[in-house]
Amino acid sequence: MDQASRIQHAEILLEALPYIRRFAGKTVVVKYGGNAMIDDDLKQAFARDIVLLKYVGIRPVVVHGGGPQINRMLESLEIPSSFVRGRRVTDASTMRVVEMVLAGEINGEIVTRIDLAGGRAAGLSGKDGGLLQATRLSEELGQVGQIVEVDADVIQALQARGFIPVVAPVAAGDGGESLNINADTVAGKVAEALQAEKLLLLTDVEGIQDADGRLLPSLSVSDARRLIEEGIIDGGMIPKVECCLDALGGGVGMVHIIDGRVRHAPLLELFTDEGVGTEVHRDGNKPRGSTSEAPGR
């Protein structure tokens, strides 16, 4: 490596310095999903990103999904799938598969990858230690739940021992039955309970776009609501944005929708001036790029 390249690397580290200083000791909740959970290179990069966050003094918490993996397992077992308004109808047979894939296969793989990258991860589902209390969303959807309460002590106890918590979005219902919970919702509610500095939602899109299809690097709460009303934010992006707005209303410092198809997307969003997605902030907060140090953050 020549001297110019070494200097460039040093400058990249210096760009990250104000962000590292600001976020040291703070909790960052990362919702891990989409293509980043399927592509091997992206899975390895994600694990290393999470470990790096830990080593620079940030307290990461991972909440993961697993829709494609659940679909593949259901197909292999010849269990039919059906959806109502984008939500999976979860009968008892489907729930057994959902729990096996989320709390078993996927959760274990993420924990192992983080451990191999040099971290100390602890896997758990929302049923462990009463982390998530939930109730059925509707009889029509079967064992699909909505969160009633999050016990932050469970995660904080792991953080105090130096572990990186990895949470599967399965909760216990009123009668102790397993409930399938939307992973974005779990991530948002966990971030609220922990009063996290940041909530990152990894997706398979660039971020939130305007009417002309251009990425919006920064978006206020009122502008986000306006874009939903105007139909510019639509389809599957609506529940993600509503999750962002709920998290901000619940005390989370800033929420980011980022492209998980980009290698090291969490690091690029947290530690660079430009970021790699859309940050959603409260009205009156400084947008990204408004100052040279920790812009909009």
Instruction: Determine the 3-state secondary structure of 160 from DSSP.
Output: helix
Of the candidates 4, 62, 19, 13, the residue with the CA atom closest to the CA atom of residue 202: 62
Query: How would you class 76 by CB atoms within 10 Å of its CB: exposed for 0-12, middle for 13-18, buried for 19 or more?
Result: exposed
Report the C-alpha gap between 291 and 295 in whole angstroms. 5
Task: Decide if pLDDT at 10 tops 80.
Answer: no
**pLDDT tens digits for 240-252?**
999 999 999 999 9
Residue 111 lies in a domain: yes
Residue 122 is inside which H or E element, if any?
Answer: strand 121-125
User: What percent of the chain has pLDDT above 70?
Assistant: 93
* Predicted structure pTM score: 0.91
Residue 191 is inside which H or E element, if any?
Answer: helix 183-194
Residues 6+ apart with CB under 8 A from 251: 192, 195
Task: Decide if pLDDT at 293 tops 50.
Answer: no
The domain containing residue 93 runs over which residues? 59-186
Residue 73 lies in a domain: yes
Report the number of distinct structural domains present in the chain: 1
Q: Which residues pair with 135 in a beta bridge?
A: 146
Residue 179 lies in a domain: yes
Q: Which of 35-49, 77-91, 144-158, 239-253 has the lowest mean pLDDT?
A: 77-91
Sign of CA dihedral 286, 246, 27, 39: negative
Tell me how long the chain is: 297
Task: Decide if pLDDT at 130 tops 80.
Answer: yes
- What are the respective helix, strand and coil percentages of the chain, to the nearest 5? 45, 25, 35
Whether 128 contacts 154, CB under 8 Å: yes
Residue whose pair of structure tokens reads 């969003």 in the numeric block:
269
Report the C-alpha gap between 206 and 38 in whole angstroms. 17
Q: What is the pLDDT of residue 201?
A: 96
Residue 147: CB atoms within 10 Å = 22
Residue 103 lies in a domain: yes
Residue 158 lies in a domain: yes
Q: Specify the CATH number for the domain of residue 182.
A: 3.40.1160.10
Report the C-alpha gap between 169 and 87 in whole angstroms. 14
**C-alpha neighbours within 13 Å on the C-beta side of residue 132:** 33
**pLDDT tens digits for 187-204?**
999 999 999 999 999 998
Reported as a pLDDT band with limits 50, 70 and 90, residue 292 is very low
Output the six-digit token pair for 204: 């398979």
Q: What is the pLDDT of residue 288?
A: 59
Output the six-digit token pair for 27: 């909790």
Q: What is the pLDDT of residue 295?
A: 42
Residue 118 lies in a domain: yes
Task: Decide if pLDDT at 291 tops 60.
Answer: no
Residue 120 lies in a domain: yes
Residue 98 lies in a domain: yes
Provide mean pLDDT across the span 199-211: 92
Of the candidates 57, 52, 58, the residue with the CA atom closest to the CA atom of residue 29: 58
Reported as a pLDDT band with limits 50, 70 and 90, residue 9 is low
Q: What is the pLDDT of residue 1?
A: 63
Report the C-alpha gap between 178 and 170 in whole angstroms. 7
Reported as a pLDDT band with limits 50, 70 and 90, residue 294 is very low
Residues 6+ apart with CB under 8 A from 198: 23, 26, 28, 29, 191, 252, 253, 254, 255, 256, 270
Of the candidates 62, 20, 31, 27, the residue with the CA atom closest to the CA atom of residue 196: 27
